[in-house]
Amino acid sequence: MSGRRMTGLPLVRLLGPTGLVAGAVLAVAIAAAVVPGAFGGAHPLAVHPAASLLPPSPAHPFGTDESGRDVLARVVAGTRPSLVVGAVATVIGGGIGCALGLAAGLASDRRAGRLLDAVIGRTMEVGFALPILLVALVVIAVTGPGAVPATIAVGLATTPGYARIVRGLVRRADRSQVVEAAVLQGRRRRTIVMRHVLPAALWPVVAVATLGVGQAVVWASALSYLGVGTPPPAPEWGAMLADGRTYLLTAPWMSTFPGCAIVVLAVAATVLGRALRRLGTPS
């Protein structure tokens, strides 16, 4: 569907019902991250030993953990670090990947730039050959554990995907009839890149970045689960999953609700990203 045909159409027709629901879920998650107190519940760090391991009830809808902390309050509070890590990691990976992909794509058809394209391409292929979690763990082994190193690690680990996508989009846009017409009209190379190549190459990346936020949340939660992400007792979904391992049989709600939060947020980001990508696909 082209940009002209999208103009004036209702949002539900543009995104579809599933995309609209996914957007609503992400909106609720953002609201929970910005104003966690609006969703009620106790303080996420308040300890009540006498109320430890209580099952879900009207007083504690998600139950309590081994320290008597309200699981609902911790899940809501954990939305902020999860979204921040996912968004910042996506910005890091997408920013570096777009820069590398743009450089490789614009240089691939130039004799002097083929070496640059080859170097970037081979480097990204090495990155693709390694699992994202392994790359992230290597980065953390160098920088040390923590929320910031985990964010940087996830961002760097996802860079090759963005670089390959942008390189392909740039090459396709650079060989389009619109660019050929602009060259025949005598327009400068810089003007052609800014007006025709970049818009055609970067809009699909917006959709891919939305997908990447959900994936980054999953990887960041995995690092916290392994104990190298956000340190305790800060509420973070992956760390909450790790805390609940010991109580899977006696208090399964400690792991169930944080796990559901990870799945719901990742699925919502994926569905919305695919809906956005359909908007940028010509019909």
The arithmetic mean of pLDDT across residues 108-118, rounded, is: 70
In this prediction, residue 128 has a pLDDT band, given cuts at 50, 70 and 90, of confident
To the question of pTM greater than 0.85 for the whole model, the response is no
46 has a pLDDT exceeding 80: yes
152 has a pLDDT exceeding 60: yes
pLDDT tens column, 231-256: 878 888 998 998 998 899 999 999 99
The arithmetic mean of pLDDT across residues 161-189, rounded, is: 82
The arithmetic mean of pLDDT across residues 2-21, rounded, is: 62
The larger pLDDT score, comparing residue 12 to residue 48, is at 48
Predicted confidence at residue 250, as pLDDT, reads: 92
Predicted confidence at residue 4, as pLDDT, reads: 41
77, 235 in Cβ contact below 8 A? yes
pLDDT tens column, 47-79: 998 989 999 999 889 999 999 999 999 999 999
183 has a pLDDT exceeding 80: no
Annotate the chain with three-state secondary structure.
CCHHHHCCCCHHHHHHHHHHHHHHHHHHHHHHHHCHHHHCCCCCCCCCHHHCCCCCCCCCCCCECCCCCEHHHHHHHCHHHHHHHHHHHHHHHHHHHHHHHHHHHHHCCCHHHHHHHHHHHHHHHHHHHCCHHHHHHHHHHHHCCCHHHHHHHHHHHCHHHHHHHHHHHHHHHHCCHHHHHHHHCCCCHHHHHHHHHHHHHHHHHHHHHHHHHHHHHHHHHHHHHCCCCCCCCCCCHHHHHHHHHHHCCCCCHHHHHHHHHHHHHHHHHHHHHHHHHHHCCCC
Predicted confidence at residue 72, as pLDDT, reads: 92
Q: List, in order of start, the domains of the chain with CATH numbers.
A: 67-279 (1.10.3720.10)
The arithmetic mean of pLDDT across residues 136-142, rounded, is: 86
Predicted confidence at residue 283, as pLDDT, reads: 45
3 has a pLDDT exceeding 50: no
Predicted confidence at residue 123, as pLDDT, reads: 84
The arithmetic mean of pLDDT across residues 40-48, rounded, is: 81
pLDDT tens column, 187-234: 787 787 778 788 777 777 877 888 888 888 898 888 888 888 888 788
In this prediction, residue 174 has a pLDDT band, given cuts at 50, 70 and 90, of confident
